Structure formats: C-alpha cells, structure tokens
Amino acid sequence: MANNIFVIAEHIKGKVDDVTYEMLGKAKELAAGGQVIAVLLGSGAKGMAGDFAADKVLYVDSPTLADYNPEAYEKVIAGLVNSHSPNVVLVAYTSQGVDIAAGLSVDCNMPLLAYAFRISAGSVTSQLYGGKMNVESAVEGDRFIAAVIPGSFPAAAGKGSGAAVEEVAAPDLSGLKVKFKKLIEPAGGDVDITQSSVLVSVGRGIQSEDNLPVVQALADKLGAALSSSRPIVDAKWLPKTRQVGKSGLKVKPKIYIAVGISGAPEHIEGMKDAECIIAINTDPKAPIFSYAHYGVTEDLFDVVPALTDKL
C-alpha cells in the first residue's frame, strides 16, 4: 500500500542537520509508491531544500520561525499534518525533535514511537535503557510518528535535487507563550575537541576521577585531545567543553577511541561520523559495538596502559 511520509527537516545556524537526510532516505523506502514530503520551517530558508531527495517540500516562511521555537514549530507542523494526513511522520530524536514529537502526537492523534533506529511498514524498533535493550513495537493502523535516533540510516540516500517547493502560509503565531531570545553557545575551553583529528573519550567505566590520568597518558602518546561522555562532565571531572553528545559537541575526528563508554543514543549522536571508531568496554553487548569499527571487551585498566606502553 502506498504511504505518504512527512519528514520534519532540522536545521540550525543555516545548516541542515544530517539526520534530515537520513530520514529522507528511509522515507523513500517506506513510501512504497506514495510521496515523500519534507517539511521545512524558517525565514529566508527556502534554499536549504535544494538537495532534499523528496517528491515535494512544504516550506513555511515567517520571521517567528527564523530561530527554533518549540511552540511555534509544533503549531505549524500539527496544522500541516492534520491538513495533509500523512501515514508516517519522521522527526529526529534530538533536542528539537523531543520538544516537538510528544505534543504533535497528541494534537494529531497519532501514536509516537521514540528512540527509533529501525522502521518497517508495520513496526518500529527502539533502543531503550541507554541502548541496552531493543524493543520492537507493532503499529495498529497505518499512521504513526517515529522519533529517529541520528545515525540510524545512511545520509547519502536522502540527498538529491529537483524537489518541488510549495510555499505554505504560516498560521497566526502571535500570542505564543515561548519566545526565542538568543542562542548561547558554550564558552571556548582549553581545547577545541571539534578540531581534533584524534580523540580519546572516557566514560563512566573509568570509575573515579583519580583514574583519568590513565586515559590522559594514552591521549598524550597519540597527540590526541581527551573528551568524555556526559556522566564525566556531570561529575565535574572534565569541563563541559570536553563533552561529546547531544547535549555537548558533535565531533568528526579521523579516530575516536571510546574508553569505558556504553554508547547511549545521546552520545552516539555526537560522534557517529568519526572515520574510525575504536571501543574498549567489558560488556560485549554494549551499544557502542554496533557503531565501532574495532573493539575489545577487556578491562580498560589492562588495555589502555598496554596501548600506551606499546606506543
């Protein structure tokens, strides 16, 4: 049966996020003869749709949509979903997507399946408990919303050209309770991990702040920067400028060594585009191994010093 698929485009500071292309590529598979319809909101942002692999782009232009506003975005998208009645709505499981998805589910009376990384015509598989459990959910009926974990599908499949852009008038956005004031970016730190070609990243498996020098020694031998997952920053063992992940920084190093990191979706979002991922974790079922090119399931306190000595 043909399906019409909505893909909610995500962008910030004039750049389309790769997860948008990932969802467009997956939508082409799911459409089965139906239409792939990208939804783009912004102000003067029409040109962003130039390489969308979609049958059509619905573009809503308004000064209120120039910067992300969850209340405004949800109101506009809900109106489009209710008027076009797509079978499936794909939204990214990101900070923006999480803001939108639940309210959209209520406003459009469509079931929501979050943490999605595998989608078929009748089911959605989600990663739960930090990626330690995969749950397949059957979908009743033919309409649902899926919040997709970035990195789940290849981005290249969602890039193309020639999609027809249909401009849609924005609804009345006056009287919003949420106002965008300004974007506050993290202050610069002693190291810009986004510019490092090699990163050694440490997670909860390090156990204690006193053990950080073990990993720092490896980073020093490699000429690498030391980065971390969120628990390390929350514990104040490293500054926020070293955090990789959804609430930290996105990095694309040539080599990313994950030491004692389980691989929660929020962390994967920040480092999935590394050219080579090497994981050290004693748990063979840790989600990080689904993304790693190389891995070892030995104790990091044995492996890391041995690597350092070898180097």
Check which CATH number belongs to the domain holding 243 and give it. 3.40.50.1220
206 and 135 co-located in one domain: no
**Residue at 176 is within a domain:** no
Four-CA torsion 12, 15, 17, 22, nearest 10 degrees? 150
Give the 3-state secondary structure percentages of the chain, helix then strand then coil, rounded to 5.
35, 25, 40
CA distance 58 to 35: 12
| Angle, CA 8 vertex, CA 51 and CA 1 arms, to 5° | 90
Decide which of 120, 152, 168 is a domain's last residue: 168
15 and 67 co-located in one domain: yes
272 and 164 co-located in one domain: no
Kindly report which listed range (107-121, 177-191, 264-278, 294-308) carries the lowest average pLDDT score. 177-191
CA distance 91 to 75: 15
CATH number at 158 reads 3.40.50.620
Domains held by the chain: number: 2
74 and 211 co-located in one domain: no
**Residue at 184 is within a domain:** no
Average pLDDT over residues 268-295: 94
Give the whole-number percent of the chain exceeding pLDDT 70: 98
160 and 206 co-located in one domain: no
Q: Is pLDDT larger for residue 303 or for residue 122? A: 303
State pLDDT tens for residues 181-212: 988 876 666 688 988 999 999 999 999 999 99
Stated length of the chain: 311
Tell which phi-psi region holds residue 201, choosing left (phi > 0), alpha (psi between -120 and 50) or beta: beta
CA distance 289 to 299: 15
Q: What is the pLDDT of residue 35?
A: 94
Domain hosting residue 293, numbered range: 193-310
100 and 249 co-located in one domain: no
149 and 210 co-located in one domain: no
Residue 135 dihedral angles phi and psi, to the nearest 5°: -125, 125
27 and 113 co-located in one domain: yes
Residue 122: is its pLDDT beyond 90? no
State pLDDT tens for residues 242-257: 999 988 888 999 999 9
Q: Tell me the pairing of strands 225-228 and 198-202.
A: parallel
197 and 163 co-located in one domain: no
What is the CB neighbour count within 10 angstroms for residue 308? 17
pTM of full prediction above 0.75: yes
Q: Which of 179, 150, 166 is nearest to 68 (CA)?
A: 179
239 and 147 co-located in one domain: no
**Residue at 299 is within a domain:** yes
Residue 126: strand pairing partners: 116, 135
Confidence of residue 119 (pLDDT cuts 50, 70, 90): very high
Q: Which of 177, 178, 175, 231 is nearest to 201 (CA)?
A: 231
217 and 280 co-located in one domain: yes
Mean pLDDT rounded to a whole number for the chain: 92
**Residue at 70 is within a domain:** yes
Identify whether the C-beta of residue 37 lies closer than 8 Å to the C-beta of residue 60: no
Residue 295: strand pairing partners: 279
**Residue at 188 is within a domain:** no
Decide which of 168, 184, 208 is a domain's last residue: 168
Q: Is the dihedral of CA 299, 302, 306, 309 positive or negative?
A: positive
118 and 13 co-located in one domain: yes
